[in-house]
Amino acid sequence: MVADRASLALFRTLLSSACLLASIATLSPALAAISRIGRVWPIAEPDALAEIEAATAKLPPMAPKFGPRSRWTALQSASLGTTTRPAERSVVPFYTLPDDLKLPDGRTLYPKGFTFNPLAFVRLTQRLVIVHPLQIDWALAQARPEDWIIVAGGDGRFVDPLILGQQAGRPVFILEAAVKDRLGLTVAPVIVTQIGQKLVLDEEPVDPSGRVREAAR
């Protein structure tokens, strides 16, 4: 009888162990990531992010040295005009090499002056929704999650793109002069979309107050 009870206890122990191992094997990745097997010890090294934050907290404020952000050239957008008529036009952003493109062994791969269309090699999965600050609500309504919202200048108002992005809940970029020239932009709002090996620019009209009169196509 004692032997039978011992055998039964051993069987129950083995069965419990088997069930425990089976449950561990079928844990979801998220649950398995927080499971503890064996002894654990606290991390001895200090937290790197905490060290950086503590070091920067000791630095003197830098903003007064640079003045108000409205004067920062890094936050100034290139200017664009407006239009009262909707228009659609296409642009091929050809690029000409300013210098020879050489291989590591010194041989010339492409010579200076070589012109090509970058869109023949890359695909822009996002659209560019370019607006004036007054049209940011329209941009948010038009933009897909993957699209880029870009703010242009030219309406006489400065809107901090950092604050604008915080209010919008998504990144907001400034329009750089090089991008304006490369894409042939003249007015905003405009939605830029790659179709094949060209860019299609949908220019939207605005009313006298600067608000968009029509929805994007």
Each residue's pLDDT tens digit, 175-211: 888 889 888 899 989 999 999 999 999 999 988 777 7
pLDDT at 29 over 50: no
Q: What pLDDT, in 10s, does the model give residues 158-167?
A: 677 777 888 8
Average of per-residue pLDDT across 43-52: 81
> In the numeric block, which tokens belong to residue 87?
């228009």
Q: What is the pLDDT of residue 90?
A: 92
Confidence of residue 144 (pLDDT cuts 50, 70, 90): very high
CA gap 7, 13 in Å, rounded: 10
Give the Å distances, CA to CA, from 185 to 119, 130, 157, 212. 17, 9, 19, 17
Asked if 153 contacts 161 with a C-beta cutoff of 8 angstroms, the reply is: no
Residue tagged 């329009």 (tokens):
175
DSSP conformational letter for 28: -
Chain length of the chain: 217
How buried is 26 (Cβ within 10 angstroms: 0-12 exposed, 13-18 middle, 19+ buried)?
Answer: exposed
Q: Which two tokens stand for residue 141?
A: 């309504």
Res 11: pLDDT: 42
d(CA 47, CA 157): 43
Least confident of 23-32, 109-118, 153-162: 23-32
What is the distance between the terminal CA atoms of the chain, rounded to a whole angstrom?
A: 86
Among 10-14, 59-63, 112-116, 143-147, the minimum mean pLDDT is found in: 10-14
Q: Which amino acid is located at 112 in the chain?
A: K
- Give pLDDT, residue 89: 92
Residue 99, Cβ density class (10 Å: 0-12 exposed, 13-18 middle, ≥19 buried): exposed
For residues 149 and 140, give the distance between their C-alpha atoms in angstroms, rounded to a whole number: 8
pLDDT digits (tens, 9 = 90+) for 57-85: 888 876 677 666 666 666 678 888 888 88
The predicted pLDDT at position 194 comes to: 93
Chain centroid to Cα 115, Å, comes to 29
Model confidence, pTM: 0.64
